[in-house]
């Protein structure tokens, strides 16, 4: 596939012809206990990366307590019926492995990486954590106490406060509206609740095992069969969630943090999930807007005006909904000026077609950066898991670049009009009220909160 | 264990530019880097933060690629780019589909040959850098702790002790003359290494390097200030206010041996015994067992890339109901144990397997997950600039795997001494905390 031409200054070497991008073959199989498994070989280093996913996360049990799945995942690694916490950590080091367990809105996962020569003991430990976690009382108490400190600490981070508020505003009573528990909710966690989540979520019927690395797929498949086949369990019942709010009209939410020397801006609106047919188009539109260094917003408010160091925009895809957002940490005296440019660039993409050469640049960008994932084992793992967990077509990776190349200026215009919903953007600003309230109020009705989430006006 | 056999080709152009190629055609992607042997340690006095501000200026325009073109040309070739400033080196790097290799080299050569920036560019990037400092340090809980808090407490030579991100007054005082002077002094081919890793043949890479870089004239050998420290003979302590967070924190740093000495290898493994994640002794004792701390981690900042006085640092955030003295006592129990009894044979075996596994990950690893072979690039650059031996990347692992228990205990006794350490307390202004340092 030829690259499209780009306007370049004199003397710049032209691009040589593109080398083919070949994604490694995936072996898909089901173990005798029903566990779905995907393997891919990548021999860059004598290691392998894996992830055991469970297709349920915090959202599925949000009605019991926010963050309950995350707390469950945290305690899973602290003890099994065979090994105490300290033993687990030493055994991991003994086999040169890294392991973490966590839970997002839609999935829970045990992620791991280790030496190829010691893959069997690592898989055996993963199997043990997935089947025989013991939730030792003392470990649970300690992790809960740790979590209390974590939730206190995150309330002092401007980025967290902004995203917490935006999610609340965009998703309301839907579980996606709650990104983190309160201190009181953490204090109320019970060990039994965690064990119930564990029994429901951590089953082979609910799981997907992904392995990428320096191994022979057939050999690895028989190792996996040997290690995991005695594990039994069915998929948990599907859950229904309350409808999302979809707020109309621009509104501004100010989180008052006295003494802030900078203001964190975050604005967003509803968009689409990963499965949506417009996903690739929206990805390209976003990369033109604020998703790349060379994007319009970065060139405007960083390279031209110097308001901020790190402006960016992105599309966050949750399993059932998605949202578009733009963020920048700016100087206190340019909050209004920054918001003006943020909306100017959104509206420009909604109203004026993108010139052909700029589109070609963005297509080359997205297409090239996509293939970076080929070069590392964890890059491959992340691409394969995106495809599998979002149930994208089998040839998604292979056809992605063609889809990017096929996009026209007209497509971009329509996509921006559909998803850069500037009239209904919800704006969050985190900073010192005395310095930014008047500026923020120019952009919509204003509500003011403190860092604990309490209304203060 | 298999010996590492990473293909590495090294050439030196007539102008002194080192060229290092590590070919690997696994993916159609090539990572290009240029490292200049100048970091924030040796930036000019009265110009704190200048090495980093200057790094930003390198993206502001060169003779044939005016402002915004550099970024545009890399992104529109399907690539990513960035730069970073460290203690003793500054790097610029790009990962691109391999069909853009020559374009990247052209751009890097253009800005090594002639930087073309004006006052407006400098004003702009000064503003950007101030927001960078605010977002990473001044407006964050525990921002800059301890990497900016520790140097003024631990060191006496301005080179090691100053604010590396820059006092705003110094950033404001920097002018265009400083920019061109710094460029002329340090950004010469004989003070740099060019690296290409991934989908490129060795001969091809070297030929392209000649084509684009050979006519850049060598400069005078850069004058380097002396970064050495007067002998430290007593413990040093300092206090910094924490504006946002509510947990008391402290950092304890011990002076490290020079890099590439045998003590250095022993300290690297001792560091892993102490700070190697949840199995590390600090985390295990302070967080898991005694439950005094919420976080207890740390390590050696840039083990392969430091080239002057540096420390191994432990960073502790502890629960407010424990005093600083109690937290420090718990920390000292851990260091005393390794001084008196060393580490166990089983522990050392575990550490070596983990070290090897981590080393492989470094070779492949990206930076923030997007820069293939960043780790390999960094090792090759440091081994070339400081040791003149890029092949060390294949050999150095063995030196770490040969460390013995007595060497580790000897290193603990020699380096983990109160008169060789500095402690910074970061004390919350908000806490109801009764403890004082």
The share of chain B scoring above pLDDT 90, in percent, equals 95
* Co-location of B93 and B183 in the same domain: yes
What is the pairing mode between strands A445-450 and A251-256?
parallel
Residue B63 pLDDT exceeds 80: yes
What pLDDT is attached to residue A5?
46
Q: What is the pLDDT of residues A28-44, one digit of tens each?
A: 999 999 999 999 999 98
CA-CA distances (angstroms) from residue A200 to A60, A130, B318? 10, 11, 35
The share of chain A scoring above pLDDT 90, in percent, equals 93
In A252-271, the residues whose Cβ lies within 8 Å of chain B are 257, 259-262, 264
> DSSP secondary-structure letter at B195?
E
Which positions in chain B touch A377 (Cβ < 8 Å)?
364
> pTM value?
0.96
What pLDDT is attached to residue B1?
46
* Co-location of B198 and B323 in the same domain: no
Residue B93 pLDDT exceeds 80: yes
- Number of domains composing chain B: 2
Is there a contact between B106 and A13 if contact means CB atoms under 8 Å apart? yes
Tell me the angle at which helices A356-370 and A396-405 cross, rounded to the nearest 10 degrees: 170
Is there a contact between B28 and A21 if contact means CB atoms under 8 Å apart? yes
What pLDDT is attached to residue B370?
77
* Co-location of B194 and B250 in the same domain: no
Residue A155 pLDDT exceeds 70: yes
Nearest neighbour of B103 by CB, restricted to A15, A113, A376: A15
Q: Confidence band (pLDDT; 50, 70, 90) for A132?
A: very high
In B279-338, the residues whose Cβ lies within 8 Å of chain A are 279, 284, 287-288, 291, 294, 317, 319
Q: What is the mean pLDDT of residues B18-42?
A: 96
Distance CA(A111)–CA(B140), nearest Å, equals: 29
Q: What is the pLDDT of residues A180-222, one digit of tens each?
A: 999 999 999 999 999 999 999 999 999 999 999 999 999 999 9
- Nearest residue of A to residue B348, measured between CA atoms: A94
Is A41 an 8 Å CB contact of chain B? no
Q: Confidence band (pLDDT; 50, 70, 90) for A11?
A: confident
Is there a contact between B80 and A372 if contact means CB atoms under 8 Å apart? yes
Task: Enumerate residues 6+ apart whose C-beta is below 8 A from A402.
Answer: A1
Which positions in chain A touch B63 (Cβ < 8 Å)?
none
Is there a contact between B76 and A306 if contact means CB atoms under 8 Å apart? no
The share of chain A scoring above pLDDT 70, in percent, equals 98
In B256-285, the residues whose Cβ lies within 8 Å of chain A are 276-279, 284
In B199-218, the residues whose Cβ lies within 8 Å of chain A are 199
Counting Cβ atoms within 10 Å, is residue A258 exposed (0-12), middle (13-18) or buried (19+)? exposed
Phi-psi map region of A37: left, alpha, beta (phi>0 left; psi -120 to 50 alpha): beta
Tell me the angle at which helices B345-364 and A85-94 cross, rounded to the nearest 10 degrees: 60
Q: How many CB atoms lie within 10 A of CB A270?
A: 18
Q: Which helix (H) or strand (E) holds A18?
A: none
Distance CA(B202)–CA(B24), nearest Å, equals: 10
Counting Cβ atoms within 10 Å, is residue B89 exposed (0-12), middle (13-18) or buried (19+)? buried
User: What is the span of the domain harbouring residue B330?
Assistant: 236-428
Is B360 an 8 Å CB contact of chain A? yes
Identify whether the C-beta of residue A21 lies closer than 8 Å to the C-beta of residue A379.
no
Peptide bond into B390 cis (omega under 30): no
Q: What are phi and psi of B164, to 5 degrees?
A: -70, -25
In A212-251, the residues whose Cβ lies within 8 Å of chain B are none
Q: What are phi and psi of B196, to 5 degrees?
A: -130, 125
Distance CA(A323)–CA(A342), nearest Å, equals: 17
- Nearest residue of A to residue B71, measured between CA atoms: A294
A126-164 b/e with 16+ CB inside 10 Å = b?
bbbbbbebbbbeebbebbbebbbbbbebbbbbbebbbbb
What is the pairing mode between strands B236-242 and B192-198?
unpaired
DSSP string, A370-425: HGGGGGSHHHHHHHHHHHHHTT--TTHHHHHHHHHHT--HHHHHHHHHHH--GGG-
Is there a contact between A309 and B135 if contact means CB atoms under 8 Å apart? yes
Which positions in chain A touch B291 (Cβ < 8 Å)?
142, 145
Q: Which helix (H) or strand (E) holds B216?
A: none
What pLDDT is attached to residue A374?
87
Residue A217 DSSP SS3: helix
Distance CA(B208)–CA(A61), nearest Å, equals: 58
Q: How many CB atoms lie within 10 A of CB A242?
A: 13
- B345: domain CATH number is 3.30.830.10
Is there a contact between A115 and B125 if contact means CB atoms under 8 Å apart? no
Is there a contact between B106 and A307 if contact means CB atoms under 8 Å apart? no
Q: Which residues pair with B198 in a beta bridge?
A: B23, B30
CA-CA distances (angstroms) from residue A105 to A71, A183, A317, B275? 13, 19, 11, 31
Q: Confidence band (pLDDT; 50, 70, 90) for A361?
A: very high
* Co-location of B272 and B395 in the same domain: yes
Distance CA(B328)–CA(A205), nearest Å, equals: 49
Q: Confidence band (pLDDT; 50, 70, 90) for B189?
A: very high
Q: Confidence band (pLDDT; 50, 70, 90) for B124?
A: very high
Q: Which among A155, A175, A169 has a CA at the least distance from the CA of A64?
A: A175
Is residue B220 a part of any domain in this protein? no
B180-190 b/e with 16+ CB inside 10 Å = b?
eebbeebbbbb
Distance CA(B264)–CA(B321), nearest Å, equals: 37
Q: Which among A32, A125, A141 has a CA at the least distance from the CA of A77?
A: A125
> DSSP secondary-structure letter at A304?
I
* Co-location of B44 and B103 in the same domain: yes
Is residue B436 a part of any domain in this protein? no
> DSSP secondary-structure letter at B322?
S
Is there a contact between B99 and A382 if contact means CB atoms under 8 Å apart? no
Is residue B4 a part of any domain in this protein? no
Which positions in chain B touch A372 (Cβ < 8 Å)?
29, 80, 95, 366, 370-372
Distance CA(B392)–CA(B359), nearest Å, equals: 13
Nearest neighbour of A158 by CB, restricted to B66, B139, B247: B139
Optimal mutation site among B127, B357, B376, interface A, most CBs of chain A within 10 A = B357
* Co-location of B383 and B249 in the same domain: yes
Distance CA(A156)–CA(A255), nearest Å, equals: 11
What is the pairing mode between strands B249-255 and B311-318?
antiparallel
CA Rg value for chain B: 23
Residue B436 pLDDT exceeds 60: no
DSSP string, A23-38: PPPEEEEE-TTS-EEE
Task: Give the residue from B162, B182, B213 where a domain finishes.
Answer: B213
Q: What angle do CA B247, B251, B253 make, to 5 degrees?
A: 175
Name the strands in the sheet holding B9-12, side by side, starting at the edge strand that comes first in the sequence: B9-12, B18-23, B192-198, B29-36, B90-97, B80-85
What pLDDT is attached to residue A19?
85
CB pairs under 8 A between A and B: 235
CA distance, residue B188 to nearest chain A CA (Å): 22
Q: What is the mean pLDDT of residues B219-234?
A: 96
* Mean pLDDT, chain B, whole residue set: 95
What pLDDT is attached to residue A238?
87
The CATH superfamily assigned to A26-228 is: Metalloenzyme, LuxS/M16 peptidase-like (3.30.830.10)
Is B120 an 8 Å CB contact of chain A? no
Q: What is the pLDDT of residues A57-83, one digit of tens each?
A: 999 999 999 999 999 999 999 999 999
Identify whether the C-beta of residue A373 lies closer than 8 Å to the C-beta of residue A382.
yes
Which positions in chain B touch A17 (Cβ < 8 Å)?
99
Is A405 an 8 Å CB contact of chain B? no
* Mean pLDDT, chain A, whole residue set: 95
CA distance, residue B46 to nearest chain A CA (Å): 24
CA distance, residue B392 to nearest chain A CA (Å): 18
Is there a contact between A331 and B102 if contact means CB atoms under 8 Å apart? no
Q: What is the pLDDT of residues A97-130, one digit of tens each?
A: 999 999 999 999 999 999 999 999 999 999 999 9
> DSSP secondary-structure letter at A446?
E
Distance CA(B312)–CA(B300), nearest Å, equals: 5
* Co-location of B199 and B291 in the same domain: no
Q: Confidence band (pLDDT; 50, 70, 90) for B34?
A: very high
* Co-location of B247 and B114 in the same domain: no
Is residue B434 a part of any domain in this protein? no
Is there a contact between A20 and B28 if contact means CB atoms under 8 Å apart? yes
Any idea of the CA torsion for B36, B39, B42, B43, to the nearest 10 degrees? 100
Which positions in chain B touch A11 (Cβ < 8 Å)?
64, 106
The CATH superfamily assigned to A251-450 is: Metalloenzyme, LuxS/M16 peptidase-like (3.30.830.10)
Q: Confidence band (pLDDT; 50, 70, 90) for B369?
A: low
Distance CA(B303)–CA(B313), nearest Å, equals: 12
Distance CA(A78)–CA(A159), nearest Å, equals: 29
Nearest neighbour of A146 by CB, restricted to B66, B131, B294: B294
In B95-114, the residues whose Cβ lies within 8 Å of chain A are 95-103, 106-107
Q: What are phi and psi of A111, to 5 degrees?
A: -110, 140
Cα torsion angle, B358, B364, B367, B370, sign: negative
Which positions in chain A touch B96 (Cβ < 8 Å)?
368
> Looking at chain A, which residues constitute the CATH 3.30.830.10 domain(s)?
26-228, 251-450
Q: How many CB atoms lie within 10 A of CB B418?
A: 12
* Co-location of B303 and B417 in the same domain: yes
In A316-375, the residues whose Cβ lies within 8 Å of chain B are 329-331, 360-362, 364-369, 371-372, 374-375
What pLDDT is attached to residue B431?
56
Q: What angle do CA B421, B422, B427 make, to 5 degrees?
A: 145
CA-CA distances (angstroms) from residue B43 to B170, B228, B307, B311, B378? 12, 15, 14, 20, 21
CA atoms within 13 A on the CB side of A333: 3
CA distance, residue B266 to nearest chain A CA (Å): 18
- Nearest residue of B to residue A301, measured between CA atoms: B128
Q: Confidence band (pLDDT; 50, 70, 90) for A8?
A: low
Q: How many CB atoms lie within 10 A of CB A442?
A: 12
Is there a contact between A6 and B76 if contact means CB atoms under 8 Å apart? yes
Q: What is the largest CA-CA distance in chain B?
A: 66
CA distance, residue B413 to nearest chain A CA (Å): 25
CA atoms within 13 A on the CB side of B280: 24
Q: Which among B374, B403, B229, B204 has a CA at the least distance from the CA of B305?
A: B374
CA-CA distances (angstroms) from residue B206 to A173, B19, B93? 61, 7, 18
Is residue B56 a part of any domain in this protein? yes
Q: Which among B422, B43, B366 has a CA at the least distance from the CA of B197?
A: B366
Residue B435 pLDDT exceeds 50: no
Nearest neighbour of B76 by CB, restricted to A18, A157, A361: A361
* Co-location of B209 and B253 in the same domain: no
Estimate to the nearest angstrom the gap between the alpha carbon of A136 and the chain centroid.
Answer: 30
CA distance, residue B177 to nearest chain A CA (Å): 21
Nearest neighbour of A371 by CB, restricted to B28, B69, B103: B28
Residue B345 DSSP SS3: helix
* Co-location of B121 and B174 in the same domain: yes
Q: What is the pLDDT of residues B271-280, one digit of tens each?
A: 999 999 999 9
CA-CA distances (angstroms) from residue A394 to A322, A402, B28, B421? 22, 15, 22, 57
CA distance, residue B423 to nearest chain A CA (Å): 23
């Amino acid at each position: 596939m030829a690259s499209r031409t780009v306007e370049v200054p004199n003397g710049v070497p032209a691009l040589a012809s593109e080398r083919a991008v070949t994604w490694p073959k995936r072996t898909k199989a089901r173990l005798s206990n029903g566990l779905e498994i995907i393997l891919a070989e990548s021999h860059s280093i004598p290691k392998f990366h894996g992830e055991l996913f469970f297709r349920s996360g915090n959202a599925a049990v949000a009605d019991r307590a926010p963050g309950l799945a995350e707390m469950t995942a945290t305690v899973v690694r602290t003890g099994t019926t065979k090994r105490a916490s300290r033993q687990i950590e030493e055994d991991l080091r003994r086999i040169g492995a890294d392991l973490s367990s966590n839970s997002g809105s839609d999935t829970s996962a045990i992620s791991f990486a280790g030496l190829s020569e010691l893959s069997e003991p690592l898989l055996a430990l993963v199997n043990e954590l997935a089947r025989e976690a013991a939730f030792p009382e003392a470990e649970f108490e300690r992790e809960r106490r740790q979590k209390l400190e974590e939730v206190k600490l995150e309330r002092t981070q401007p980025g967290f406060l902004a995203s917490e508020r935006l999610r609340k505003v965009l998703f309301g009573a839907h579980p996606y509206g709650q990104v983190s528990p309160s201190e009181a909710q953490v204090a109320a966690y019970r060990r039994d609740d965690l064990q119930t989540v564990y029994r429901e979520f951590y089953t082979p019927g609910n799981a997907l095992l992904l392995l990428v690395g320096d191994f022979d797929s057939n050999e690895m498949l028989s190792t996996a069969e040997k290690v995991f086949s005695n594990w039994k369990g069915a998929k948990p019942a599907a859950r229904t969630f309350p409808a999302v709010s979809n707020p109309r009209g621009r509104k501004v939410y100010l989180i008052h943090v006295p003494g802030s020397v900078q203001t964190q801006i975050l604005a967003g609106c509803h968009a689409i999930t990963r499965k949506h047919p417009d996903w690739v188009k929206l990805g390209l539109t976003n990369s033109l807007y604020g998703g790349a260094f060379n994007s319009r917003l970065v060139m405007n408010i960083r390279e031209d005006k110097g308001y901020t160091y790190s402006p960016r925009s992105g599309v966050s895809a949750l399993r059932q909904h998605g949202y578009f957002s733009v963020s920048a940490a700016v100087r206190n005296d340019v909050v209004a000026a920054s918001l003006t440019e943020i909306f100017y660039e959104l509206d420009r993409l909604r109203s004026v077609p993108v010139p052909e050469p700029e589109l070609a640049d963005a297509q080359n960008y997205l297409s090239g950066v996509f293939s970076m994932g080929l070069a590392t084992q964890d890059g491959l793992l992340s691409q394969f898991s995106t495809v599998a967990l979002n149930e994208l077509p089998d040839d998604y990776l292979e056809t992605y670049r063609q889809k990017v190349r096929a996009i026209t200026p007209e497509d971009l215009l329509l996509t921006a009009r559909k998803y850069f919903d500037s009239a209904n953007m919800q704006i969050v600003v985190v900073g010192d009220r005395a310095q930014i309230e008047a500026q923020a109020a120019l952009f919509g009705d204003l509500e003011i909160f403190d860092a604990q989430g309490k209304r203060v006006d | 264990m298999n010996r590492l056999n990473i293909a590495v080709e090294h050439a030196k152009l007539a102008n002194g530019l080192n060229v290092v190629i590590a070919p690997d055609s696994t993916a159609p992607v090539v990572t290009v880097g240029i490292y200049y042997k100048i970091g924030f340690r040796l930036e000019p006095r009265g110009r704190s933060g200048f090495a980093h501000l200057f790094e930003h200026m390198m993206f502001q325009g060169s003779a044939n690629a005016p402002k915004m073109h550099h970024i545009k040309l890399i992104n529109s070739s399907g690539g990513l780019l960035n730069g970073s400033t460290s203690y003793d080196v500054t790097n610029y790097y790009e990962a691109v589909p391999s069909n853009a290799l020559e374009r990247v080299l052209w751009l890097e050569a253009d800005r090594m040959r002639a930087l073309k920036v004006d006052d407006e560019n400098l004003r702009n990037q000064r503003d950007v850098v101030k927001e960078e400092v605010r977002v990473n340090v001044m407006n964050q809980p525990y921002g800059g702790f301890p990497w900016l808090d520790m140097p003024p407490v631990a060191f006496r030579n301005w080179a090691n002790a100053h604010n590396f991100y820059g006092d705003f007054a110094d950033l404001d005082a920097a002018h265009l003359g400083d920019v061109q002077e710094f460029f002329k002094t340090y950004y010469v081919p004989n003070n740099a290494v060019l690296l290409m890793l991934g989908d490129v043949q060795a001969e091809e890479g070297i030929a392209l390097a000649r084509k684009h870089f050979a006519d850049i004239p060598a400069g005078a050998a850069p004058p380097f200030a002396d970064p050495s420290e007067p002998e430290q003979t007593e413990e040093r302590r300092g206090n910094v206010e924490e504006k946002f967070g509510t947990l008391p924190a402290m950092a304890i740093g011990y002076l490290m041996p020079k890099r590439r000495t045998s003590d250095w290898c022993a300290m690297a493994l001792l560091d892993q015994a102490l700070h190697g994640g949840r199995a590390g002794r600090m985390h295990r004792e302070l967080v898991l067992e005694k439950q005094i701390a919420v976080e207890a981690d740390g390590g050696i900042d840039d083990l392969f890339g430091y080239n002057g006085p540096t420390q191994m640092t432990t960073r502790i955030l502890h629960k407010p109901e424990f005093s600083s003295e109690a937290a420090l006592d718990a920390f000292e129990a851990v260091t005393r144990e390794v001084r008196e009894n060393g580490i166990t044979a089983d522990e050392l075996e575990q550490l070596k397997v983990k070290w090897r596994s981590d080393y492989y990950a470094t070779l492949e690893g990206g930076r923030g997950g997007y820069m293939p072979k960043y780790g390999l690039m960094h090792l090759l650059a440091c081994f070339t600039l400081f040791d003149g031996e890029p092949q060390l990347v294949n050999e150095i692992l063995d030196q770490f795997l040969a460390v013995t228990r007595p060497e580790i205990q000897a290193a603990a006794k020699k380096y983990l001494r109160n008169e060789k350490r500095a402690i910074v307390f970061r004390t919350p202004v908000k806490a109801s905390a009764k403890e004082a340092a």
